[in-house]
Homo-oligomer: A and B are copies of this chain.
Amino acid sequence: MLPISKRGEQMPPSPIRKLVPYAEAAKKRGTKVFHLNIGQPDIETPAAILDAVRNADIKVLEYSHSAGNESYRRKLTQYYKKVGIDVNYDQILITTGGSEAIMFGFFTCFNPGDEVIIPEPFYANYNGFACAAGVNVVPITSHIENSFALPDIEEFEKVITAKTKAIIICSPNNPTGYLYSKEEMLKLKDVCVKHNLYLFSDEAYREFCYDGDYVSALHIEGLEQHVVLMDTISKRYSACGARLGALVTKNKAVYDAAMKFAQARLSPPGLAQIMGEAAVDLPDAYFDAPKAEYLSRRNLLVKRLNAMPGVFCPNPGGAFYAMAKLPIDDSDRFCQWLLESFSHNGQTIMLAPATGFYGTAGLGKNEVRLAYVLNLDALDKAMDCLEEALKVYPGKTN
């Protein structure tokens, strides 16, 4: 028997995808499943950016520059300028999805055994990249009662050690939808500067802020050398399958080292870069419709949830996720039960148990994440399902 590596054993399976077999079985039984479990937007990918690929005159689909086509990087500086981020094209490294930006950042900045602090609940795949890089995630709990706002800085101070290398944030947040304020960002700046920490900033959802202004880590003066910005076109343009992202940093040492990892994998996807470049030319008004659509959905979702007995859902300021506290014993069991044992008018709902988003064992057992990536009608029906389910779930707690 040939041995698998320790990290191969320890690598966490996707907490979201583990329910997939139950969803498939439900569908085979003829039950309609509303998918609120995964951040796959239903908004159409802009036809103009797909057309750019269709109309591209390609004879040989060649490797691009390892940092991405220079024309695309130069164009992206225009996009970033519009969102208040002033960067040069040689501070942008095009990656294969935001995922690769996370990976390059981790491998570039952290040694095995280093620690990174992440406010929990957090995007579960940070765990996977931390495992691959041999890095230990130190969670700081944020709380549903105050909408998952930034935990007190004292909580950070308590866990900072000589091995702490970075704080990782995501705003607007996946999974909570919380949008950090300027004040919160300034607090993060202070602690990063004081302890010489990187601030990894996942800004995948910046276009979708409903209450309050988007604040980028690169908006904060004095933090320039600390910021590793992780970006993607996946959510911005409903183009998750393109696999196109970017690592943006003004720290030249980080950029140069990340570039060596980029060279080893040769180049980011070529056709996707054509899409990305065309996307910068979309009219500014492009975002109005998806943003308005998401906002209507959020309002419906939050209203429906909070009208259910024993349910609490803070109003998320951005992204397209909401976290809700439910009167249930165990969110993993509940989400599986929804697929295995429940249906309402031949329909059920697939949710993400919040346990997968917490680093602290035992947290999230009465919380679920809902991605509002369905139209209003479907979302309303999905809420009907949830409402009925909570009436009959055997593990109900009140």
Asked whether any CB of chain B lies closer than 8 Å to the CB of A58, the reply is yes
A180 → chain B closest CB, angstroms: 21
Which of chain B's residues have a CB closer than 8 A to the CB of A269? 96, 241-243, 269, 271-272
What per-residue 1/0 map shows which CB atoms of A167-201 lie under 8 Å from chain B? 00000000000000000000000000000111000
Asked whether any CB of chain B lies closer than 8 Å to the CB of A50, the reply is yes
Please state if B111 and A6 are interface contacts (CB–CB under 8 Å): yes
Please state if A241 and B107 are interface contacts (CB–CB under 8 Å): no
Which of chain B's residues have a CB closer than 8 A to the CB of A196? 2
Interface window among A36-44, A300-308, A315-323: A36-44
Which of A40, A45, A64, A269 has most B Cβ within 10 Å? A269
Please state if A50 and B61 are interface contacts (CB–CB under 8 Å): yes
Asked whether any CB of chain B lies closer than 8 Å to the CB of A367, the reply is no
Please state if B128 and A264 are interface contacts (CB–CB under 8 Å): yes
Contact pick for A103, options B50, B110, B128, B265, CB 8 Å: B265
Please state if B132 and A5 are interface contacts (CB–CB under 8 Å): no
Asked whether any CB of chain B lies closer than 8 Å to the CB of A251, the reply is yes
Q: What is the count of identical protomers in the complex?
A: 2
Which chain A residues in 110-167 approach chain B with CB under 8 Å? 110-112, 114, 125, 128-129, 132, 134, 165
Which of chain B's residues have a CB closer than 8 A to the CB of A240? 61-63, 266-267
CA distance A109 to B62 in the complex (A): 31
Which chain A residues in 58-92 approach chain B with CB under 8 Å? 58-64, 66
Which of chain B's residues have a CB closer than 8 A to the CB of A107? 5, 7-8, 132
CA distance A238 to B7 in the complex (A): 34
A72 → chain B closest CB, angstroms: 13
Contact pick for A260, options B11, B108, B253, CB 8 Å: B11
Contact pick for A11, options B110, B238, B264, B272, CB 8 Å: B264
Asked whether any CB of chain B lies closer than 8 Å to the CB of A14, the reply is yes
Asked whether any CB of chain B lies closer than 8 Å to the CB of A12, the reply is yes
CA distance A264 to B123 in the complex (A): 11
Please state if A14 and B50 are interface contacts (CB–CB under 8 Å): no
CA distance A388 to B80 in the complex (A): 50
Please state if B63 and A58 are interface contacts (CB–CB under 8 Å): no
Asked whether any CB of chain B lies closer than 8 Å to the CB of A263, the reply is yes
| Nearest opposing residue in chain B for A242, CB measure | B61
Asked whether any CB of chain B lies closer than 8 Å to the CB of A359, the reply is no
- Apart from A4-B254, A11-B257, list 17 A-B contacts with CB within 8 A: A2-B109, A2-B226, A2-B251, A4-B257, A5-B111, A8-B107, A8-B260, A11-B264, A14-B66, A41-B60, A45-B61, A53-B271, A62-B240, A125-B265, A240-B266, A240-B267, A242-B269
- By Cβ-Cβ distance, the 6 closest A-B pairs, closest first, are A128-B264, A241-B270, A8-B257, A99-B265, A14-B263, A11-B260
Binding site for B on A (CB under 8 A): 2-9, 11-14, 17, 38, 40-45, 50, 53-54, 58-64, 66, 96-97, 99-100, 103, 107-112, 114, 125, 128-129, 132, 134, 165, 196-198, 225-226, 238-243, 251, 253-254, 257-258, 260-261, 263-272
